[in-house]
Amino acid sequence: MSSKLVKAVAWESSVLGTIYKQLFVHPRPIPPTVSLAGKTAIVTGANGGLGFESARQLLQLGLSRLILAVRSEAKGQTAAEALKNEFPIADIQISLIDLADYGSINAFADRCWNLERIDYVILNAGLQSSTFELNVKTGHEAVFQTNYLSTVLLLLLLVSVIKEKKGQHRTDRPSVLTVVGSDTMYYSKLEATGPIFPRMDDPKRFVKFQQYLDTKLLLMMFISQLADKLSPEEVLINVCNPGMTAGTGLGHDVKETSRTERYIAPLFIKALGRSVQAGASVYIHALLMEGKESHGGFVSDWAIKPYASVMYKKEGKDLMERLWQETMEEIQFSSSHGIAASLF
């Protein structure tokens, strides 16, 4: 449905539109009849902020089994204990994953094969940085690595696991995977020509915060194409956006900031930012409420919203084709499962 909303791009990407959405658009409640009893969910980046709160909201709906995918075992255990105290009947587990390490991602996916079922996935982990940093294990810039490459690899691996399990145990509903994106993709200035990966890894082209915007646009571009190759009857995927949210912890990796970023931005977020509870509820809405219309789409403000304007243009479609090719070459290299050859 996002592909049909080109006329709404101007409003969604405007300053006035952003202010209106932040102040006057409010969460849509989940119907009281919704129950997640017997279901299993995976949430990455779940030890705090939006990830923790979205996990909590799933448990409030009666979720039976929750896998908290975290980088730090200590923080994961603390989060799990807090949730177990509130939801003592639920089966709450932690599983370690480091999105900076392809080996860790593959190992996490291997463990997921041991789960009887996977009904819902929230890929929430992300990184924001104001300085260029190279991931020495992969050779890619750190924000690009975490927000795009590693997220896409994990997504594809989990889709593969889910498809196999669906073949073994038929269910009446598709599994749903939502990947956390951002409406900041509307402001990306990513060039539409030339190779993509070398540009994202070039320290001379690195602009703080712009890299974050660009990775969120790339993520939306890839998932919109992936959805075309997957049946929403089997696996439904979308991108969700919590909006400007206070107290999430995003940006704690930012080391160098200007006076505006240190003093003005926090005031802006305090005035317009949603609560963590409201932001996380967009994740739950994307999982449970939009259905097949959201397959490959962008869910924001508790509704399906348009793509970034470039995705409706020829140069954007050409960019998306190059992105797919470059990404699948990287995935084939980084996956221990030959995922590119076996998934489609």
- Answer for the pair 55, 68: CB distance below 8 angstroms, yes or no: yes
Q: Would you give the end-to-end CA distance of the chain in angstroms? A: 23
102 is catalytic: no
User: In the chain, helix, strand, coil percent, each to 5?
Assistant: 50, 15, 35
| DSSP codes, 64-89 | SEEEEEES-HHHHHHHHHHHHHH-TT
Options 21, 216, 283, 307, the catalytic residue: 216
Of the residues 186, 212, 283, 307, which is catalytic?
212
Q: How far is CA 38 from CA 82, 91, 93, 118, in A?
A: 21, 11, 15, 11
Q: Are 100 and 137 in contact (CB under 8 A)?
A: yes
The question of whether 212 is a catalytic residue gets the answer yes
* Distance separating alpha carbons of residues 49 and 53, to the nearest angstrom: 6
User: What span, in angstroms and rounded, lies between the C-alpha atoms of 155 and 148?
Assistant: 10
* CB of 179 closer than 8 Å to CB of 236: no
- CA 5 – CA 13 distance, rounded (Å): 13
Rounded distance between C-alpha atoms, residue 177 and residue 238, angstroms: 7
Compute the distance between CA of residue 178 and CA of residue 157 in angstroms, rounded to an integer: 14
DSSP 8-state symbol, 291: G
Question: Is the CB of residue 42 less than 8 Å from the CB of residue 67?
Answer: yes
Beta pairing class for 65-70 and 120-123: unpaired
Which residues are tagged catalytic? 212, 216
